[in-house]
Structure 1
Amino acid sequence: MSDDAVSVPGFHNPEIFEVLPNACLSPTARDVFDVLTARQEPGGLVKIRQQDIAERLGLTQSVVSRAIGQLRDKGILSERQRKGTVLIHPLLAGYESLSHMVNHLKDPDTFVWPLNFPTGDIRPPRARDARTGTDFDPDPDGGEDAPAPEARPTLRLAG
């Protein structure tokens, strides 16, 4: 990218990224998606060739093509794009701010296609999860609130 490129999108919808594991992406598809999100313009348009992704990840172009196919099958990427560009789903795309995202999604010209994976509940760990059957406890407090600190820190205004 050049120095005069568009501003880097810094705001992502946090709720949709919580359910992204439900898409059950292969590790390669997840790596490709990470490259695409890092290279996107605000709104999700990515100008990159599969060959460039393959070189960046040290993979063959056919492996990257299969990963992009999986991302399209799940609805994470648009089916209809020009050669050399990819469009990330508007709910997964990065934006300059929350208001930019809301305005983009409300725009009648924005096409929001369906995601092809469950987005209702966070799925439980898979049986092949390395932590299954171990002493790992993701919630060691048993759902209880963390104890409040004894003394509140003093806050100072910068400037």
Structure 2
Amino acid sequence: MSIFGKIKSAIFGNNGPLGGGILGGSKPAAQPNPQTTQAQPQAAPRAPQPQTAPAQVPAAQPVDVEQVLMGIASRKGGPDLNWRTSIVDLMKLLDLNSSLADRKELATELGYTGAKDGSAEMNIWLHKAVMRELEKNGGKVPAALKD
């Protein structure tokens, strides 16, 4: 799984707003029992039923990214992490490896074109890019986290 995929999964869970996970498991289709199907008489055809409009499926609600992250931070109750501006602290909050190698990989995934040297410029760009990508993937992200 990509580094961004791990971040998204940690925030949205397996069943994010865009169906990021598997809803339950799939079960194999039941096979008819030849002994019972041969012995059963065929039912008479039913009269056609009036067609009804398909039920409207409500749109998935966006995940409030800030609220989720604040909840994770409060549950952990550990050291204060500056996850609002630091990509390293955001990754630590989500129990992800925040090494330079992983941040370089994330930078490549998200299209960073500058030097991948762990500079403040790269890290600030990464944090904002992650927040923008979370929003594109169905998250509700306040402007302060992505600008």
TM-score (norm 2): 0.27
TM-score if structure 1 supplies the norm length?
0.26
Structure 1 or 2: more helix by fraction: 2
